[in-house]
Structure formats: structure tokens, C-alpha cells
Structure 1
């Protein structure tokens, strides 16, 4: 298990992002965590080592990242994985055939694909519900329910879930509450503090923030869960290489200031889009017109840079996407550069068309990941891309 290194560290989130879980290298004094490129550790004698035996189980660079993110989330144990989906798949190995999972209906398409195309064939069952409504969630719980899994804000419809209410429901049914915190990051939302048992991220996104690595990370404060997750991490082996861990750790150092910039740009772009397209066509929790704005303001300390807009038809979407210059057409999100995507044909292409329609993921829906460029330049790009639409 990887416990945080500096349990007595105090200070704000920016301070923690830079310092938590790390100390200068004891050999050289290097202030940046070294890149430990090794698979094997020499042991002093049988059963005597420096805490490392084989790099699949532990790597010092990876541990620094795990401690850092655990501290940011307010947890005590972190576990880094080779991808966001590798992380979620490993979390799901906590369960066994016959177990039932209640899942938010509007989650990332890859989450649904993993559950529907793979894990249900191993005996797990899933019920998808609108987690906007706690009563629907409570009604979906059964005696065999072992976990409630939510994503907030959701991808790509930007719906919010009341985490305190979900925690109450999960606890009443002796189920785990698992929260995907990728969009909000620990800078704007810390689910463990409202009762979540496990928080996880695609660290590819905002935690890294530079679009140059793939990774996932899970955090918990539950000792039993931590022991089981460490066993799964080592036994199943979905671990990141040390360079990916190092890149993500470099990214978390600027997470606090980047998220402030994403948030400032997100608010400005969303406000402009609402004026340009109409508030009903812009999905952003920071807008007072968002139906769950009050919940977002209570549960989050910022709203970030993720926005979705409804253009009505695929033809209008194609026109816009062909015109953008600063916004790059791409699948991912959370980097310093602004990205734009068409969820129906990209992130949620694996979700059946009928199901997408039921959820509201239309052919006219566009998702924006607003970067940290100058806001005026982003607005100029959107203005020329939307001209005449």
C-alpha cells in the first residue's frame, strides 16, 4: 500500500499540489522526483529489502504520484494505473459474479462499454439510472447491490449528482460509493469528504494536463479497500511505466493554477455561447440557467472548462468542426490546449444509437474542453466557426 508521505503537510491546494508526497532525492538532493527506470530491486538478504521487490508492485516514481494525488483528494492511499479504463477495470475486480452495480446512466462511453460488453459476461449485473434523482437511485438498489458508481459532472451532458445523497443511499444498503472525479478534479470537488469510498480519475486528462501520457488513478481512505486494491494492482498488473507516472506528477504541480485558468475561460466561453446560442443550448454547471447550478455551487468550488452545446443537426456540427482553428477536433480533454469533439461519433460511439437518443446525446451535440489560451482568441475562433449557423 502507498501511504501519503507528508501526513503533516499543511497549506492550500496549490502548496499541496507542488509538495505533497515528495521529498528531495536523498542521494543527490534533486528537488524533482527522479525517474526510476528499473524493473528489479536488489535485496539485502532473504526477506530483507528497502521496501521494493519488483516494479510491478511498487516503483518510487509511481509512489510519489500516488501519494501526491491521495493528498489532494483528502485520502490516505493512492493507486496509479496504466489508463483510466485500466483503473476502473481494476476497481471492478473488487466484485464477483452475482454482484449488482447501480451506475449513472450518463457516464463516459468507455465505462458503459466495459460494463456492457465485457464485465456483465463475467456475472456482474448493472442497472443504469438517472442519478439526478436520489429516489430513482434508491429504488434501483437491491440486496445484491455492492456498489453505486457515479460521474459528476457527467460526460458529455454536464449533469450533476448530489454526492452527499448518494453516500447516504450507499451506506443504507452497505454498498460502496465510487466516484469518477475526472472533470472536476480535487481542486474543485473532493468526493471522499462527502462520503465516497473510492475516487478515481483518468489521469490522462486534467491531472496530467499536457496531453502527453495515458494513466488512471484511484484514491481511498479505507484500509481494507486499500489492501485489496494493492493486491489487485500487483496481481493483475495494469500499472503505468515510470515515465508516465513522472509526466503526471509534473502535471499535478501546476494543477491548481491550471484549473483556475480553465475555470475562468470556461465561465467566459459558456456565458458568450449562451448569449450567442441561447441558454437552453449550452450545458455548463457554472451558468445560473443550468438546472443544477445551485447543487454545483454547493458541492464544487469551481466549474472548470467542460461545456457542451446543442447545434440541432449533424450538418451544423460538421460545419462548425470543419471551421475551428484554435479548438482542435480530438477525443480527449483536460489539456492546456482547447479541444472540441462530437460525442455521438467519438466518445460515445460504442453506445447504441437508441440509448444515446434516450439520454439526450444527439447528433447535434458538441463537447468543448476549454483550454488556457487567451479567452478573446477562443471566442474569436468560436465566432467565425458558428457564423451563419
Structure 2
């Protein structure tokens, strides 16, 4: 089944009760049992829910995985992966990392005795010097948030397998439409489904997808035991959003390219970060492992002035100044004061998150309106 068909039919079947084409919202906490333990596969909705199960099947199908899990947020999904580990274990992470992930690792799991190494993975061999007997997990974002750095998943996966280390890839920015990490050698794929998978800024959700049953069983146990599940209403909304993922991503990519090219020639813009440029670091790797370059664009205005950056985001009319990304509407963020504020300034600036960096989530509006809005705000 081709990807565009999978978004609509992958892992799905009509509801057995009445043949509903869309899985119904099973807004229930518990289910009738004919005898203790005698039920139709569902006993309590923290453990299993038919609407959530339909969504988890869809997640697995999109990423060419065998098992999908849906959580109450992207952070809850990452938290579940971290709970596979134990005190003394070590994790090698991308140094250009979403601020919430950095906060979870450093403020919570470091306190439980897990050690994290934040490494520039743009050259895969950089991780070799950090691997030892305690290394149990490599955590990758690609493209990264917000610098849009590209990491070679195949090369990292080869190193991980040599050392019998799990590889997890946060695929939120690329989506399975553009990149499928399990096929490139990853063990776990994570999504903040709040973003492109949901696509309409109306839910908060996380996803994990794996191929290995033993790993899936570990994660299912953690999901049930910890209870950080999504509700059936959000599962329904995510299922609806997934059905248009392919057509939305086509427009996100088209508009992202147009915006990146406009900014790249603007006299007030110092630097544009977008993997589609031939001079973007690891552009060739992006071409090899992705089918397009997505709708995320970051840039720095000339002068690197904090006040001018704030003035710019406040003056936008079509782009909305807001947290998050991946919705049909175009969003704008100031990472240093928003998504990455939890990372110390010195650490932020080492990876390029300077005070004037702006991150754009380019939506599916008319291209001309988006460029006109950016032009007036820069002016």
C-alpha cells in the first residue's frame, strides 16, 4: 500500500458494531465482562480503548512499524522511553535538542542517575568517543529543533547496532511523509503528534512506533503502568488529521521552499536555516533520507538584535506568534524566549539559538500572503 493510501486506510477497518467508516469515539472508562477476565479485548480504558487502538494501528502503518502507542503528549512518549533505562545508564543525545526534551533529561532523569551526553551528531562518528558499556540509548532529532540540522540516521544506526545500543529518532519535524526512520535502522520512532500528525492545533498527543515485539511489550507495560495515555476524543481528532497528512505536507513543503528562498535573498536577513539549500550542512544526507525538506524554516536577522526580533514577531499579521508547530496555520516562534528558554543561554548560543533567531512553521495558506506578511514585518 502506497503512503497516500496508508494515511486513509493504513491499519484501519470499519467498526465491527455497525460498520462505521470512521472509528467511533468510545467515551467509556470500563467494559462489561461476562465472567472475571471474560471480555471482548477491552477491560479498562487506561489499558486499551478501541478509538486509541485504531489510532495506534494507524501510527504503526505510517512508519512501517509493527506496533504503535499513543500518549497524552510528546513529552509523555519520551518519558516512557526513558523509563526503559535504570540508574547508571547513559544516553547520547543530539546537542541541538527541543527545549522540553532537554529539560526532561537534565531536570528529571539526571536526578534518577541517568547520564546524558549532548553531542553534535552532524558527523555521525562524533558519537563514537562517548559510547561505553553503560550506553543504552542514542536519542536523535533530525531535522533538529530549531536549527534544522540533519543527522545521518543510517550511519548512526550502524554504530548503534555495532554496540548493541537502542536508537530512537524524534521524527516530528519530518513526519513519516518525508522520512521513515525504522526503515533506516532506528529501533524507536517518536512523534509529538500535536504537530503535523494532528495538523490542526486542536490536540496534544505523543506517539511511539517500533518493530520489535519485546521492545513493544516493554513500552506497552510502561504506558499502562504509568497511565500517560491520550483520551478517545483526541485519538479521534488525530485519526481525522492523519487522513489529510499527505496533502497537507505537500503544501507545507511548497510554501516552506518559497518562504526560505524569499528570506534567503532579503537584505535584512543574515542567515536562513532550511535543509533544501545546497549549502545547508548535510544537504546531501537530507536528500538521501528524506523525500522533501518540510515546512520548518529558521532565520537570523542582520544585527542579531533581541529587541528587533521581538518587534518582528509582534508585527506579523498572517503568521501567528504562538508555541507549537505543524498546524495548517503558519506559526512564528522566538526560541530563546519560548521553546528553548529552559536551556541556559550559554548552552543555547553554542548551538546557534541566538537571541535574534526566529523559527517559522510555514502553514498551507496562500504563498503570496505569507511572503507579503514577512516582507511587511521585516520592513
TM-score, normalised to structure 2, is 0.98
Whether the 8 Å contact between 2:329 and 2:362 is mirrored in structure 1 is: yes
Q: How does 1:1-389 map to 2 (within 5 A)?
A: 10=1, 12-277=2-267, 281-311=271-301, 312-387=304-379
Whether the 8 Å contact between 2:137 and 2:166 is mirrored in structure 1 is: yes
Q: 1:280 & 1:364 partners in 2: Cα distance?
A: 10
Shift, 1:279, TM fit: 8.3
Q: 1:150 & 1:26 partners in 2: Cα distance?
A: 39
> Which piece of structure 1 moves more, 108-117 or 133-142?
133-142
Shift, 1:287, TM fit: 1.6
Q: 2:128 & 2:268 partners in 1: Cα distance?
A: 35
Shift, 1:46, TM fit: 2.5
Shift, 1:278, TM fit: 8.0
Shift, 1:118, TM fit: 0.5
Q: 1:188 & 1:374 partners in 2: Cα distance?
A: 22
3-state SS of 2:265 partner? helix
Q: 2:212 & 2:14 partners in 1: Cα distance?
A: 29
3-state SS of 2:266 partner? helix
Deviations 1:229-261 (A, max 9, x none): 110010000001110111111100000110011
3-state SS of 1:267 partner? helix
Whether the 8 Å contact between 1:158 and 1:283 is mirrored in structure 2 is: yes
Q: 2:82 & 2:263 partners in 1: Cα distance?
A: 39
Shift, 1:29, TM fit: 2.0
3-state SS of 1:78 partner? strand
Q: 2:50 & 2:267 partners in 1: Cα distance?
A: 50
Shift, 1:49, TM fit: 1.4
Point out where structure 1 has 5 or more consecutive residues left out of the alignment: 1-9
Cross-structure match for 1:4: none
Give the number of aligned pairs.
Answer: 377
Point out where structure 2 has 5 or more consecutive residues left out of the alignment: none
Deviations 1:146-203 (A, max 9, x none): 0000000000000000000110111111110000000000000000001000000000
Alpha-carbon RMSD: 1.0
Whether the 8 Å contact between 2:187 and 2:210 is mirrored in structure 1 is: yes
Whether the 8 Å contact between 2:150 and 2:281 is mirrored in structure 1 is: no
3-state SS of 2:189 partner? strand
Whether the 8 Å contact between 1:342 and 1:366 is mirrored in structure 2 is: yes
Shift, 1:91, TM fit: 1.0
Shift, 1:47, TM fit: 2.6
Whether the 8 Å contact between 2:269 and 2:300 is mirrored in structure 1 is: no
Deviations 1:115-172 (A, max 9, x none): 0001010111111100101121111111100000000000000000000011011111
Q: 1:383 & 1:309 partners in 2: Cα distance?
A: 14
TM-score, normalised to structure 1, is 0.95
Q: 1:170 & 1:138 partners in 2: Cα distance?
A: 10
Whether the 8 Å contact between 1:279 and 1:289 is mirrored in structure 2 is: no
3-state SS of 1:281 partner? strand
